[in-house]
Each structure stands twice: as structure tokens, then as C-alpha cells.
Chain A
Amino acid sequence: MSKVVLKSEKLCKQFGLMAAIKDVSLEFNEGEIHGLIGENGSGKSTFCSMLCGIYSITSGRFLLNGEEFRVKSQVEANRSGVSIIVQEMGTLPGLTVAENIFLGEEDKFMHGIVKNTGAMNREAQRLLDSYGFNHIAASRVIDHYSFEDRKLVEIVKATYFNPKILVVDETTTALSHTGRDELFKVMDRMRTQGNTVIFISHDLEEVMEHTDRISVLRDGELIGTVNTKETSADELKKMMVGRVLDNRYYRTDYGTPVSDEVVMTVKDVSVPGAIDDIGFELHKGEILGIGGLSECGIHEVGKAVFGASYNRKGSVTLAGGYKVNTIQGAIRKSIAYASKDRDNESVVIADSIRDNVCLPSMDELSTRGIVHNKKLDDFADKYARLMSVKMTGIQQYVSNLSGGNKQKVVLARWIGKKSDILVLDSPTRGIDVKVKADIYSLMSDLKQQGKSIIMISEELPELLGMSDRILIMKDGRINGEFKRNPNLGERDLIARMV
């Protein structure tokens, strides 16, 4: 009989007027890997952040081994045996590997205010070796190591003190195959030692493969907990969205021919360090999917095609012979780009919806450099409403919008610009199901209108569901091409990715 090690009792979290977690009572057992899934906004990260002291608790409580557990910082949580590997980068450049591992815990190497750097480095190296990461040197500044190696250091940092509870928050999305294997090894080891892992991931396959039980959150509420062996991906999806996911989520047509008319030719495109020798043709009315593992260069292709890459070699030529080399040129020639890094590259966060929607269309909205504010207002209003952006008015600052609505603002601006070629990078990342469906149907509409779309995505179902053709990239090169086909499956794509 499994013993309950961690329990939450009627946990609630409010951000201002918004309830992020509502009355969640959940139990975790000793010696299990417990999956926590749900769409974005469902509250998984918030739940765990409250556990680890990153957020404060509004009401309710956690019970760790029967005793109330409430901490104010990650370091405090660590000392009580609760640890988290966060989604973003958790190590600091400018510090050595050893300093990173022991950040906040230097006390055991301190005599008064003096720090025994040598001992710290030796201990860090010993730990790294024990995990099998002996290619990482503890005394070197961490800047010399790749993103993946830094994540490995983070794994050491989060687990070396044998925590009772480890939260893995969406870490796998950022890791390569090898990195993921290392992580799962660590997770298994924790389970064998009788500790608990809470595994948050969007990847249902992964969750089903590695967990013992799975809990589903939706809109801040606990829907239910199931034994992994007794459930299926479909059942989980149903619990996540509360309805049967019909296939009208994605496109349902197969076999519709794509026009032969070429709107963009990409030839010999390389960006040193990212992509090499990329070449393809984009046709009118085509949805071209580009997929691959996170670091294989798919995102750089999007930038290259939009004229936003530095040091790009090769050519990106449009139908009339125009060569795309700058962002202004791309926009003027009717190319749109929605970046994966929404907050920094797609929207001007500290500015209004109106300014954001109007910015690329300034050519059309101004006469000889002069703008009329009324015209801008009307334009922004029209397209924001067209996209059903949930806002209180076009003067609202984009920073106040949810992820899905931000993306709608991004799309609104390009629809307003009437761009013919849209390069969408991870268009539905971090967006809830309803808005996802809206975006997919928008893409279908655009296709009907003869617009061409390049969709870059790390989510295989999306690529399979929406693309006319899929290009798979690996290590910076194109490694496979697939045509739209009802028999095409994720296995086929993965085979070309790894």
C-alpha cells in the first residue's frame, strides 16, 4: 500500500481577480512518478510554484508527511527536501559550474564570511562525476557550456541533496534525446529510492510512458487522478478539455491538390551555427510544415525567410524575382512573421493593441509620411474585432492580455496587412484549446484565399493535422519530406528527426 507523502488540501491561488487554482485537493505517494497535465492556463505550473515557494498561497495548504508545509523561497523549499527544475534557464552565466550548483547553499563551505572555493569545486566535481556528467568541469565558468549541458548542471543542482519531492516542469521540451534520457534516469532513480517526482509535460506520450499515475487539471480545478496503465491518450485529452476532441480541430481534407505556382524559392540558405544548405519551394495556397527537435534549426529558418537573420548566406526569392534580405523588404513584399518568442519579437509589450496592429501597415495607413490617428484607430479596431481579441479596447496595453489573445493581436496585424505569405513559428504554443481551434480554422481560411503559410512547429500532431507538406529538419539540414496523407503518423516524422 502506497503511503501518501504530499497532500494539498483545498488549495487556492488568486492573482488579483483571477482565480488560477480553485480548491485543489491532490495526493502524491511515496516512490511514484506522478504526471500532472493540463492545457495552458490549467494551473499546473502555478500549483507547483506554490509548493516550491515561488508563489504565495492564497488559501488552503500543503501537508508534507502530515505536517503543514509552507515556504517563501526556492532555497527554503530545497532545505525541506522539495526541489524544482524550472522551465526556463535555471543557471546563471558568469558563474562557475560549482557556484551554480551551490548557489544559495554556500554555507557549508563557509567559515564565518570566508568561502572555501577549493573545497566547493572539489565537491561539485564529485557530484558531477557521480551522475555520469564527467565531461563537465566544476571550476569552469558555465558560459563555456551548451544549453543542454547547463540543463544537466541544473539537474544536478536540483537533486544532489536527495529531495523527497522533485518537480520537473516542462523541462523535456528544451532537451535533446540524450538529455531527456539522462533526466528520466534521474527520475527513475528517485522513484527507486522511495522519493516522489511530479512530472509536468505537454507531451502525452512521454507522460504515459514514464508515470505511475496522472492527475489532470483544467481551468485551475482538479478533474481527476488515474492510474497510467488503466488509461489512454484519448481519455486524458477528454479530461483535459472536457469534450471529445473532434477532428475538426485540424483540417479534415486529404488529397486536395496544391497549386504548382511557386511563390517563394529558398536556395542554399545557411546561417553559420544554425542551419546549412536549406532549399525548398513554397506554393500558392500551400501550408508547408517544418518540424524537428528543438535545437535543430527550424526556428532559424523562419527568421532567414523573413530577412531577420544575421550572416545569412544563400537566397530567398519571391515570385517576381525579388530577393528577400531585410525585414522591411519582406514586409513590403507581403511576408508576415509570427515569432516563437512572442513577448520580445512579435508584440511590443509595453504598448497598446492599436499601435501593435498598425505598425507593419504604416505604409498603407499614411500618406507621404503623415498619419491620421482616427484612421489608425479604425484600422486597429476592425482587425482586433475580426480576430475576436478579448480586450477592453484598442488602447489596452498588450502586456495585460493572455497568451492566446496576444497571439490574436499578432495575427490581426498581419491579416490587416493582407500579407500573402505567413511564416508562423509555434503559433499555438502555450495557448488554450479554444484559441488553438480558432487559429487552425483561420489558417484553413487563409489557405482557401490563396495565401501561403509556412508553419514551424515542434508539435507533431499539429504538423500532421494542418500541413500539405512537411519538411523535417535534423542538425540544421533538411532530412525528410512528407506529403499530406491520412496514413502518415508521428513515428514516420520522428524517424527523420533523431
Chain B
Amino acid sequence: MSITILRKQKAGGLSRDLMPLFGFAAIVVVFSILTGGKIISPGNLSLMLSQVYVLMIASMGVFMIMTVGGLDFSQGAILGLSSIVFCWVSNYSIVLGVVAAVAAGAAMGAFNGFFHVKFKIASFIVTICSMYFFRGLCKYITTNGPVPATFEVMMLDETWLKVLLTSVVLLAGFFIWHFTRLGCNLRAIGAGETAARFSGCRPDLTKFLVYTASGAITGFASFINVIKVGSITGTAGSQLETQILIALVLGGMPISGGARSRFPNIVIGALTYCVLEKSLPMVFPVSATQQLVKGIVFLIVVALTIDHESLRVIK
């Protein structure tokens, strides 16, 4: 029994790790063909990737949340409000603005974490509530018009800077994930929270930290967001949470998290999503069709990547 099962498990694990790469390659190839090579032209490439920074950074935070088995639907709202905070403070100092945005994001994340951990409410409900909550605030603040950032910010819109910042954040995240106790604890808690608790992990504290950290990370991403757009309207960050969810899923992240989560899920997923998102309008000009394709692709990929072993009962 043993060898065959381990081979199957290894093969399963391997194919799970490689499948997102294949998926990414496949999508690039397919859409290159469909658009007659347009998407891989340099101009289009940089346009495509302009979206990826915010997505990748914010996805890193959500990646941690999903590893412990939670979900977060409030990311877009957090991005919006943090962006507004940044815009306000940037008028005094850009650096202080970044700090303020991160702090604001952290505070919102902590709000989520608090209600989830203290009152034992399912994460998807808490974060949906907070999505409405924060989004409402966002809309209210921008009732009389968009909130602008200080002008100097626009001068920071350089690709090298964005790539640098994104890489730094990702490297830090990777380091924490792979080389620290926190990373090990996250996987254990996601795979079996009760057992992790009995092994000395502190699930409640860890989950609270993860939500707060994710908020802070998204707060940082809002800085990059503002660099790109310059001012914030009431719909800032809308749909970010679905984009993150689809991106992570495309990257091979198991929906229930746990031990099979892998850091590359973030990078490959965000890249795949951006390519998909930018290529779709070229092939299907109607926005409804684009959404249809996105929905179908999402369903197919989730069905293929779900980790049946850690989900004994599917709800």
C-alpha cells in the first residue's frame, strides 16, 4: 500500500506545483495566438504588468489568510480607505503618508481579525460586513469629489521603483514564509487547528496577527496604487478581493489552505491573472463576455486544484 500511495502523493504534489506554471504558459500561448501576437509586444507587456504590482502585494497578505483557512472579502475596501489616508497625509510628507496608509490598513485588518477571533464568526461573513463598512466610509468621504494626493507622488510613477518595492515585499514575505516559525505555524493551523493548538501553536493570536498583517500589506499596496492613479474616487479598489481570489486560485493555491499552500502561488497567480485580464478585452470586446470567461476559467481551475484530502466534508 505504502509505495504506491506515496508515489501518488508525490505525483499529486508535483503536478499541483507545476500545473499553475503550465497554466500560465498555456494562457500566454493561447492568447498570443488569438490576438496575433499582440499581447507579447513590449508596449502591451508593460501595460499588462502595470496592474500586477498592487495585485501581487495585496495577494501576499491574503495568501497568508487563506493558508490558515480563512477568506477576506474586504481587501478592496481596505485598499480604498488606505489610499485615501495616504492621499491626505502625503500633503505633509510622502514617507509619512506611506506609514499612515500601512497603519490604517493594519487597523482595518485588526478589526477583521478581532471579530473573527473573539466572536468566532466565520471569516467570510466578517469580511463581507467590513467590506460594506469600509466601502461606505470610502464613498462618504469622496461624496464631494475625489481625494487627490500631493503632486510629487505622480513623479514616482516609475517602473523600476514599483518593481523594486514589489520585490522587496515579496522577498520579505518569502523569507517569513519559508524560514521562520511563523510560516510553519501558519501551515499547521490551516491543516488542523485543534491539533496545532495542542502542539503549542497559538491559533487565535496567529490568526489575529495574520489579518492585521494582511491589512498592513494592503495598506502598503495602496501607496503603489496612488502612484498610478493620482487620486481616489468612491470606487477605488472595487473588485480587488475577487481579483485576488481568482489570482491565487489560478496560481494553484488550495481554497482551504493548509499544508499544500506554496509561496509561488502568489507570483504565478498574479501574473496569470493580469495576462488574462488584459488579453480578454482584445479577444472579446464585450465586457460581459470577459466576465463570463473569467467566471468559467475560475470554476474550472478551482475544480482541478482543490485539495480533497484536507476537506473531508465539502460544504
Name A348's contact: one of B2, B5, B9, B195 (CB within 8 Å).
B195
Alpha-carbon distance between A351 and B181 when the two chains are bound, in angstroms: 16
Residue pair A392, B187 in contact (C-beta under 8 Å):
no
Residue pair A392, B198 in contact (C-beta under 8 Å):
no
Tell me if B184 counts as interface (CB < 8 A to partner A).
Answer: yes
Alpha-carbon distance between A16 and B2 when the two chains are bound, in angstroms: 11
Mask, B188-207, CB within 8 Å of A = 1, is: 10011011111111100000
Name B199's contact: one of A17, A360, A395, A396 (CB within 8 Å).
A360
Alpha-carbon distance between A349 and B196 when the two chains are bound, in angstroms: 10
Alpha-carbon distance between A413 and B196 when the two chains are bound, in angstroms: 13
Name A369's contact: one of B10, B182, B191 (CB within 8 Å).
B182
Tell me if A113 counts as interface (CB < 8 A to partner B).
Answer: no
Alpha-carbon distance between A227 and B20 when the two chains are bound, in angstroms: 63
Mask, A461-480, CB within 8 Å of B = 1, is: 00000000000000000000
Tell me if B160 counts as interface (CB < 8 A to partner A).
Answer: no
B212 CB, min distance to chain A CBs, angstroms: 18
Residue pair A396, B6 in contact (C-beta under 8 Å):
yes
Name B259's contact: one of A332, A337, A355 (CB within 8 Å).
A355
Mask, B251-264, CB within 8 Å of A = 1, is: 00000001100000
Alpha-carbon distance between A370 and B258 when the two chains are bound, in angstroms: 20
Could you name 29 residue pairs across A and B whose Cβ atoms are closer than 8 Å? A16-B1, A16-B5, A18-B1, A308-B197, A332-B200, A339-B198, A344-B194, A344-B195, A345-B194, A347-B192, A348-B188, A350-B258, A350-B307, A350-B310, A351-B187, A351-B188, A355-B259, A366-B180, A366-B181, A369-B180, A369-B181, A370-B180, A371-B180, A373-B178, A390-B2, A391-B2, A396-B6, A400-B5, A400-B9
Alpha-carbon distance between A362 and B184 when the two chains are bound, in angstroms: 9
Residue pair B9, A359 in contact (C-beta under 8 Å):
no
Q: Which positions in A face B, CB cutoff 8 Å?
A: 16-18, 306, 308, 327-328, 331-332, 337, 339, 344-352, 355-356, 358-360, 362, 366, 369-373, 390-393, 395-397, 399-400, 413
Residue pair A308, B192 in contact (C-beta under 8 Å):
no
B278 CB, min distance to chain A CBs, angstroms: 36
Alpha-carbon distance between A36 and B306 when the two chains are bound, in angstroms: 41
Alpha-carbon distance between A351 and B190 when the two chains are bound, in angstroms: 10
Alpha-carbon distance between A339 and B198 when the two chains are bound, in angstroms: 9
Q: Which positions in B face A, CB cutoff 8 Å?
A: 1-6, 9-10, 178-185, 187-188, 191-192, 194-202, 258-259, 307, 309-310
Contacts A351-B258, A369-B180, A400-B5; is A327 near B198 (CB within 8 Å)?
yes
B199: chain A residues at CB < 8 Å are: 331, 348, 356, 359-360, 413
Beyond A350-B192, A351-B187, A366-B180, 6 additional pairs, beta carbon < 8 A: A327-B198, A344-B194, A351-B192, A355-B259, A356-B199, A370-B180
B183 CB, min distance to chain A CBs, angstroms: 8
A52 CB, min distance to chain B CBs, angstroms: 22
B198: chain A residues at CB < 8 Å are: 306, 308, 327, 337, 339, 345-346
Residue pair B200, A351 in contact (C-beta under 8 Å):
no
B205 CB, min distance to chain A CBs, angstroms: 10
Residue of A nearest to B198 (CB): A345
Contacts A328-B202, A369-B180; is A359 near B4 (CB within 8 Å)?
no
Residue pair B2, A392 in contact (C-beta under 8 Å):
yes
Alpha-carbon distance between A396 and B13 when the two chains are bound, in angstroms: 11
Most buried by B among A337, A344, A413: A344
Residue of A nearest to B310 (CB): A350
Residue pair A349, B191 in contact (C-beta under 8 Å):
yes
Residue of B nearest to A359 (CB): B199
Residue of B nearest to A18 (CB): B1
Most buried by A among B180, B185, B191: B191
B191: chain A residues at CB < 8 Å are: 348-351, 355
Residue pair A348, B200 in contact (C-beta under 8 Å):
no
Residue pair B3, A347 in contact (C-beta under 8 Å):
no
Residue pair A371, B181 in contact (C-beta under 8 Å):
yes
Residue pair B4, A351 in contact (C-beta under 8 Å):
no
Residue of A nearest to B311 (CB): A350
Residue pair A392, B3 in contact (C-beta under 8 Å):
yes
Residue pair B192, A359 in contact (C-beta under 8 Å):
no
Contacts A360-B199, A370-B180; is A17 near B188 (CB within 8 Å)?
no
B309: chain A residues at CB < 8 Å are: 350, 397, 399
Residue of B nearest to A372 (CB): B179
Name A396's contact: one of B9, B185, B192, B195 (CB within 8 Å).
B9
Residue pair B180, A359 in contact (C-beta under 8 Å):
no
| The 3 nearest A-B residue pairs measured at CB | A348-B192, A350-B310, A392-B6
Alpha-carbon distance between A373 and B191 when the two chains are bound, in angstroms: 19
Residue pair B179, A345 in contact (C-beta under 8 Å):
no
B208 CB, min distance to chain A CBs, angstroms: 16
